[in-house]
Chains A and B, each alone.
Chain A
């Protein structure tokens, strides 16, 4: 990240909405893969790679499937970026 700040869950939700092409209305609810048909297996990879590119992190293959909610993604990013 250019300013060094940790991403908020709202930042993550914005990225998810962009990749999943969801309506851009702002709302504060957590985004969960299980509730979003559009969050399929291909989109999941696109999301993980978009996160890696945006935040300069590299996730482990073994944790891909756990990145399935905006909250879990935010927590994982904080873990990587704070390390």
Chain B
């Protein structure tokens, strides 16, 4: 959907996806690896995807970029918002190779969900084979739901893992992620200061 949500973090920030990001998104997804849906394979398809996204309600896509806006780091989204249950899913998470934005981009999505939208819970579904991302959610302190889930991946149902974070658990997760993000930002700032001297 067209939105105007900007969320500033320590070293990174989220801003709304724009039509002008189409070619970037195409390149990003092309480098994204085996766990992404095939999705758009041409610029025209990517633009068409964005056009459909812009008119979809309750679907927030963000570009992850450095805090100074100088470099795009990836994409992330919060969608399938259930206002009655105050729940949503986050995903569409694709970061540039070698990006250091994983921790803070997750933190910023959770801040949006819990602090800005006041949701009660957020879930994320990951292909079981995407072990690094499954481990990331575990490391963040999210609980795995016990039921088995399947995820549609290019038309095939594949085994998945669902994690869930609740508003009650959020403060502990926020403290953990924020501490790492703040320390990383200090590192980035130090390096930036050295470069500018």
Q: Is B135's CB under 8 angstroms from A61's CB?
A: no
- Interface SS of chain A: helix
Q: Is B139's CB under 8 angstroms from A61's CB?
A: no
- Interface SS of chain B: helix
Q: Is A37's CB under 8 angstroms from B191's CB?
A: no
Q: Classify chain B's interface size.
A: 20 to 34
Other-chain contact of B191, A38, A39, A61 (Cβ < 8 Å): A61
Closest to A63 in B: B191
Q: Is A61's CB under 8 angstroms from B102's CB?
A: no
Given contacts A49-B183, A61-B100, A64-B100, contact A42 B136 (CB under 8 A): yes
Number of A-B contacts (CB under 8 A): 48
Closest to B190 in A: A58
What's the tally of chain A residues with a CB closer than 8 Å to chain B?
17
In the bound complex, CA of A65 to CA of B131 (Å): 18
**Using Cβ atoms and an 8 Å threshold, which residues of chain B touch A61?**
100, 184, 187-188, 191
Q: Is B132's CB under 8 angstroms from A37's CB?
A: yes
Give the residues from 103 to 150 in chain B that come closer than 8 angstroms, CB to CB, to chain A.
103, 131-136, 138-140
